[in-house]
Structure 1
């Protein structure tokens, strides 16, 4: 039986070279910036076990081989060959790539070529603003450059993304800022000379509204992430008033990751026609428990509003783990629901295909 076709609706580039050192590799298996507990390593997690389960055979090793054997084989093959094998094994047809992260990462074209698929860009709005600020002599020029950058990006991008949850929190004023508020905030930010990192809540609101008005989907980071985040301020329910306010623009809001607020995200997707929820990052990191997390998302999320993604970053292993955890979780749930008579087999197959690719193709349009 052919693997379920996938559209990865939120992901990132992978490292072009390395990482060769065990510590550098394992740092990409965790959202923490701290070392593992004494006597353990970052492989001792659901994600770490899933890498050894799904990725080792693709590199010519036995499932669950020792971590050092896995890393040794990876070095022997080299980063490019390991990347090619792992991405091809994931069988992802389309990659929607957030290009906003720094580092020597593959661009969308390189990622697609290595994976044997196609790719489109998701533009991170905070990076657009930071680049516009670096080239602007003052607040008026900055706002004009920013408007031009968003309009230009909208011509080719599949969608936009915001990391306001990291930069301030999702408990933002939901209304678009006034012209006076915007001018004052821009001047404050530029005068502060901290133009490498945008954290001003007025400017973050402006970016979200500017992206929404283009008509493209707006991806919003919600739920867990690295320690730069304050998790209680990343609950998607904090976006409720923004979701209501932005509805007349026609913008579709995609709630990324969501865990441990995935039931909250399911409620929002059920309550508002322009809200979608995403399983990325959640299923990769929950590993052997991915089925339980997916089942909880399916409690309330309309089946036409849930989207597959990996949120893979840095390591090609994260693409394969995300894809395989999803495929296994959805297959097991469909078998359980059909076995007990709750779903028909034809409905189960249709829902699995919607989450895997169909919903993303409808949401992001041609080319997906």
Structure 2
């Protein structure tokens, strides 16, 4: 396949758990609800594609898979799966899960950059100093400091109040002293600040859109709700990134088509849809310009998710391009350019070089 061996930049993912897992804890991390299950597309994908990486036959039974996982230990399992992904650069959202970039870089044998979560920084500032009138001056200072070692910003406003947040250009008169920010006015101001700093510093601003865990109201995570925000940032120099997107990936593809400063991925969906990854990529590429699509796994907790994100992306896109080539819809040269752009080229163009370098990485994009 044209996708085989192409190095990947995973422009959004998380760290892995540092414990051996029994069946309940493994399945808890396998799903986006309260608990996943091996009896699902992603469960089948784990058994089919991850099992051979752990020296098991394809389609190994769940009990055999977990027994082998325990025999090897979490560290060996993580190193095998992360390195088998063929990913050379990883951008970790440190607002959820492990924030140890060096430990992840050692496991993955690649370069690791940090994505800074806006809400986490604001909540840390509020916890330290309360909510004085100068709160957003302090938040800006904290974000600038974190940005010195970051490759991007991220917001989870979809979880907090929805993507139809108000566009707020001045500091709110009062800010609730919340451990978990949910006030729309405060969040709107925070995102505006993140957008301004992102444009100034050349750091893309990522948005969680589409499906997630049970804390999310999916009707408020449709990226079309960001239309006013996208119009307001179109000429500022900001790059806006729509993460995950499924089941709104066609909506996101339209936005990427309409607004040149918008990137997107279908990262979280690819491991979960398993064998149907080719269909999701085909629906996305119906309208999304090739320059706007990036690769991500959104792997969290289980290194299986990081590996499956890469394996099923390669397989899904490879099958799709084979179909296009057979129909004379694309040339081999154009297909190779498409693969390189999505795999790493688009991320290289829009994200800064990684400030932190892993133990086996080079010091340039290469």
Q: TM-score w.r.t. structure 2 length? A: 0.93
| Worse-superposed segment, 230-239 or 146-155 | 146-155
Tell me which of 275, 291, 294 is aligned to 1:307.
294
CA shift at 1:106, angstroms? Answer: 5.8
The residue aligned with 2:270 is 283
The residue aligned with 1:116 is 109
The residue aligned with 2:10 is 8
Q: Is the 8 A contact 2:152 2:205 kept in 1?
A: yes
Once the two structures are superposed, residues 206-264 of structure 1 have per-residue CA deviations (whole angstroms, 9 ceiling, x without a partner) of: 12111111222000000000110000110000000011012232111000000000000
- SS of equivalent to 1:250: coil
The residue aligned with 2:135 is 142
The residue aligned with 1:39 is none
CA shift at 1:137, angstroms? Answer: 3.8
- SS of equivalent to 1:221: strand
Alignment of 1:218-237 (within 5 A): 218-237=205-224
The residue aligned with 2:358 is none
- SS of equivalent to 1:295: helix
CA distance in 2, matches of 1:101, 1:138: 24
The residue aligned with 1:238 is 225
Tell me which of 167, 170, 176 is aligned to 2:168.
176
The residue aligned with 2:362 is none
Alignment of 1:57-206 (within 5 A): 57-102=52-97, 105=98, 107-173=100-166, 175-179=167-171, 182-184=172-174, 186=175, 189-190=176-177, 195-206=178-189
CA distance in 2, matches of 1:109, 1:297: 34
- SS of equivalent to 1:139: coil
The residue aligned with 1:27 is 28
Alignment of 1:315-354 (within 5 A): 315-354=302-341
- SS of equivalent to 1:254: strand
CA distance in 2, matches of 1:296, 1:239: 21
Q: Is the 8 A contact 2:151 2:353 kept in 1?
A: no
CA shift at 1:155, angstroms? Answer: 2.0
Q: Is the 8 A contact 1:284 1:325 kept in 2?
A: yes
Q: Is the 8 A contact 1:15 1:106 kept in 2?
A: no
CA shift at 1:139, angstroms? Answer: 2.2
- SS of equivalent to 1:140: coil
CA distance in 2, matches of 1:196, 1:77: 39
CA distance in 1, matches of 2:130, 2:338: 52
Q: Is the 8 A contact 1:139 1:183 kept in 2?
A: no
Q: Which ranges in structure 1 are unaligned for 5 or more consecutive residues?
A: 37-41
CA distance in 2, matches of 1:129, 1:178: 16
Q: Is the 8 A contact 1:253 1:276 kept in 2?
A: yes
The residue aligned with 2:38 is 43
Q: TM-score w.r.t. structure 1 length? A: 0.92
Q: Is the 8 A contact 1:97 1:120 kept in 2?
A: yes
| Worse-superposed segment, 43-52 or 292-301 | 43-52
| Worse-superposed segment, 226-235 or 130-139 | 130-139
Q: Higher RCO, 1 or 2 (CA under 8 Å, sep at least 6)?
A: 2
CA distance in 2, matches of 1:55, 1:263: 29
Q: Is the 8 A contact 1:253 1:274 kept in 2?
A: yes
CA shift at 1:284, angstroms? Answer: 1.1
Once the two structures are superposed, residues 294-313 of structure 1 have per-residue CA deviations (whole angstroms, 9 ceiling, x without a partner) of: 00000000000001000000
CA distance in 2, matches of 1:120, 1:44: 34
CA distance in 2, matches of 1:3, 1:45: 28
